[in-house]
Amino acid sequence: ALLAADGFFSSAALGAAPGPVQLLILGETARHGIGRGFRVMLGANGMLFVVLATLALGFSTIEPSPEVVRGLRIIGGLFLVYLAVDELRGLRHDPLGAPADGGTKTGLGPTARGAMLVIVNPGAWIFFAATAAAVMAEASTDGGRDAALLAAIAMTLGVSLTDFGSALV
């Protein structure tokens, strides 16, 4: 239980630090409403939980190669460029970001954008490799797989709480 609390607070600090996910939540909420911001949050936090649960199930000892890390950086940078171009294209049609025909934007939806941003965010992978892997390994050692999964849930809740605050802003 102590590790779950540690995980909660360390991941709450992660969510409070401004990064690409928080900026996407703020941007989508400001231009499209709180519902869209929450969908970004759902995608990002859902993917975060998938990665944390994977670590909790025993993958916390696998270290990515330098090539994998380099690939994530390149793909992450390209994804950020994609998001910027997509937003600029949307602004060309309507400065408030709403599609001219009243429909939804084309391209990746908010939930998929949030999930993808976690996958290609090098900062998130540093968190996974350093903090999350250590918490999962210790929780597994102290209380087994169930304790590690509890820590994954607590960490996801910590980030979700601070992301929720970003959406409300």
What predicted TM-score, i.e. pTM, was given to this entire model? 0.73
* H or E, element range at 124: helix 122-127
pLDDT by position in tens, the chain (length 169): 555 666 666 666 666 667 788 888 888 888 888 888 899 999 999 999 999 998 888 875 666 678 877 887 788 778 878 877 877 776 666 555 554 444 445 577 889 888 988 888 877 877 887 788 888 888 888 888 888 888 888 888 888 888 887 777 6
The CA-based dihedral angle spanning residues 11, 17, 21, 23, taken in that order and rounded to the nearest 10 degrees: 160
CA distances from 43 to 73, 134, 154, 159 (A): 20, 24, 17, 12
